[in-house]
Amino acid sequence: MERFWRFSIFFLLFLVTFARNPCRQRVYPDTATGAAIGCVCNASYCDDFDDVGNITKDAFVLFLSSRDGNRMDRIDYHFTAFPNVSDTITIDFGKRFQKVLGFGGAITDSVGVNLRKLSQATSDQLINQYYGKAGIGYRLTRTVVASADFSTHVYSYNDVDQDFDMKNFNLTQEDYLYKIPYIKQALSLSKANGIDLKLFCTAWAPPGWMKSNGKMEGGAKMKGSTDGPYYKAYATYYKRFFEEYHKEGIDYWGMTPTNEPLEGRNADYKFQVVNFEAEDERDFIKYHLGPMLQENDFTKNISLLIGDENRYAFPDFADTILGDPMAAPYVSGFAYHWYADEGIPPDVIDQTIQKHPGYINLYTEACAGWHDYELSPVMGDWGRADLYAHNIIEDMSHGVQGWVDWNLVLDSQGGPNWVQNFVDAPIIANFTADEFIKQPMFYILAHFSKFVLPDYTRIGFVSPDLNLEGLAFLSTDQTKRVVMLHNQDSQNGHSYTLQDTGNTLRFANLYLPPSSFTTLIYNM
C-alpha cells in the first residue's frame, strides 16, 4: 500500500510540475546533508508557485519541498473514509493559541549594493520573489538605521561631537542608493497585492561621540547617566531618522531601541554595537525614546519591541522594563534573535509570555552560516533549510507570532560586509551571469509566508513520531486549516494519516519523503 501512495504522489508531482514555471535546477557538489540543489533565476525566468484556489470540502492540497529537489510542488488529493496507516497526525481544532503577525526579511546596505550590481530587470525579478504577485508575500521588513556590519563601511547620520539637538543630522548616500529605493519598491509591490507591509527598524549603534569608547564599533556604554544629554541625543537621532524617512513617504510600524545590546559588553566586539543592559534600555525608553515618539503623528503609534537580542536576554529584559510603570506603557512587545537557540531552551519564551501576556513576540533576525567554522553561503544546502524549518516550528510552538530572516540577498561570498562577517541568505546573487540562485532556505520561508497569513490562529498539533514536527493554523474566517509538516528523517520517507478533530470521519493519507517540508491546506 505504501508503494501505491508513493507512486500516486510522485505521478501527481510529475503532472503539476509542468503546470507552472518549475525550478530551473543547478546541482552543486553534495554537502554533509546530501544533495545540493539551487533554483536559478534571471531577468526573463524564475520559478513560481501555484495559487491555492478553491478547495472542495472533500479535497486537500499539498505543497512539497525536499532535499531531493521538490520546490513548492503542488499535489491535489482527496480525503478518504479510512486511515491508511496507524501513525496518525492529530489537528486539534479545540486548542487555540497565538495569532500570527507575519514573516519577512531585511533590507540592508548590502542588499541594496547587490541589487544595484544586477541589471534592473534581474533586480526587479528578485524583489518580486519576496513582494510581487508571483512571490511569497512577505508581511514584515526590517531596515537598519545608519550602518551595520552589512554595510561597506562605518557611518552615522551625525558625526558632530556634542550636537545634542541633531542640527547636523543628515541621511547619507547609502540611504538614497541602497535602502530607500528598495523599501519603496517593496511597499509599492505589496500595496498592489493588497498587503500592508509592516516596516520596522533599529540602529546598531549611536554616533561614536555618544559612546564611552568614542567610536561606533566595539562594546561600550553610552556616555553619562541614563537621564542625561547623550541618551536624550540618541532618542533625538531616532526622531530625526523617522522625520527624514517620512519626507520620503516611508513610515514605520515598529522599532527596537538598539540591536543586540548585550553584545556591547565585549570591548573587542568587531562591529557597531552599544551596551544597553535591561536597566539602561528601561531608562532610555521612559526618559527619552518613549516620550519623543509621542511628538509626531507618524511615530506615536510605533510598536516598540524591546530586547532585539538572543534568548538569554529574556525574561530579564521584559521583567525589568515592564516592571517600571513609566517605561511599560511605551512597550508593545519582545524581539528575539536565533543565534543562541541551540544553548538556550525555548522555555524562556514561555516564561516571558506567561509573565507578560498580551505582548507581541517576534523573531527579528536569523541567518545560517554565522558560526566561525561555517561562514559564507553553502550553495544548495538542504541542511540549512532544515535548520530554518525546525527553528520556526519550535519558536511558534512556544508562542512566537512571526519570524524575520536577515538579508534578502547576498553575494557569493556572503556579503558585502565591512568586517567580513559573511553569512548565508535565501537568495545569492551571481553578477557575472546576471542571475540569482534561490537557496533551499527560501522555500522554507515561502511555505510560511505564502500560506500562514496575519491573524491566522495557531491550533493544536500532535505528532505520532519524533522525526515529524509541525504546526497547524486556522484561517481568520475559521474555515481553512493550514498544516506544516517537517520530516526530519534524512534516510527514510514516512507514511501518516492526518485527522482533524473538527471532522473525525475523514482522513488525509500522506507520504512524506525524507528531509522534506510539506504544507497541507484544506477546508472544513
Residue 12 pLDDT grade (very low, low, confident, very high; cuts 50, 70, 90): very low
Q: Name the β-bridge partners of 65.
A: 517
| pLDDT over 70 (residue 196) | yes
The confidence score (pLDDT) of residue 14 equals: 39
Q: Average model confidence (pLDDT) for the chain?
A: 95
Instruction: Find the helix or strand (DSSP H, E) in which 514 lies.
Output: none
- Residue 26's identity, in one-letter code, is R
Out of 260, 281, 435, 469, the active site residue is: 260
Nearest Cα to 136, choosing from 486, 428, 438, 376?
438
Q: What is the CA radius of gyration of the chain?
A: 23
The confidence score (pLDDT) of residue 9 equals: 44
Mark whether 244 is an active-site residue. Answer: no
Per cent of the chain over pLDDT 90 is 91
For residues 215 and 227, the answer to whether their CB atoms sit within 8 Å is no
The confidence score (pLDDT) of residue 373 equals: 60
DSSP 84: S
pLDDT tens-digit map of 169-187: 999 999 999 999 999 999 9
| pLDDT over 70 (residue 189) | yes
| pLDDT over 60 (residue 18) | no
Instruction: Find the helix or strand (DSSP H, E) in which 224 lies.
Output: none
| pLDDT over 70 (residue 107) | yes
| pLDDT over 90 (residue 82) | yes
Out of 263, 365, 435, 469, the active site residue is: 365
| pLDDT over 50 (residue 7) | no
| pLDDT over 70 (residue 234) | yes
Mark whether 281 is an active-site residue. Answer: no
| pLDDT over 50 (residue 292) | yes
Grid cell of 62 as nine digits: 499539498
| pLDDT over 50 (residue 434) | yes
Average pLDDT over residues 447-472: 97
The confidence score (pLDDT) of residue 5 equals: 43
| pLDDT over 50 (residue 16) | no
Average pLDDT over residues 389-415: 98
Least confident of 28-32, 389-393, 483-487: 28-32
CATH 2.60.40.1180 is the classification of domain 2-39+55-99+458-523: yes
The confidence score (pLDDT) of residue 8 equals: 43
Task: Spell out the domain ranges in the chain.
Answer: 2-39+55-99+458-523, 102-453
pLDDT tens-digit map of 41-71: 999 999 998 888 899 999 999 999 999 999 9
Structure-model confidence comparison of residues 503 and 200, the more confident one: 200
The confidence score (pLDDT) of residue 50 equals: 84
For residues 215 and 208, the answer to whether their CB atoms sit within 8 Å is yes
Find cell 543586540 and name the residue: 260
Phi and psi at 348, nearest 5°, equal -65, -30
Nearest Cα to 152, choosing from 116, 205, 201, 113?
113
Grid cell of 520 as nine digits: 497541507
| pLDDT over 80 (residue 40) | yes
pTM of the model: 0.95
For residues 42 and 435, the answer to whether their CB atoms sit within 8 Å is yes
Average pLDDT over residues 365-370: 95
The confidence score (pLDDT) of residue 374 equals: 72
The confidence score (pLDDT) of residue 444 equals: 98
Find cell 517540508 and name the residue: 517
| pLDDT over 50 (residue 447) | yes
CATH 3.20.20.80 is the classification of domain 102-453: yes
Phi and psi at 165, nearest 5°, equal -90, 0
The confidence score (pLDDT) of residue 15 equals: 39
Geometric angle at alpha carbon 466, from 464 and 467, rounded to 5° = 105
DSSP 298: T
| pLDDT over 90 (residue 125) | yes
For residues 516 and 484, the answer to whether their CB atoms sit within 8 Å is no
The confidence score (pLDDT) of residue 492 equals: 96
Residue 10 pLDDT grade (very low, low, confident, very high; cuts 50, 70, 90): very low
The confidence score (pLDDT) of residue 524 equals: 83
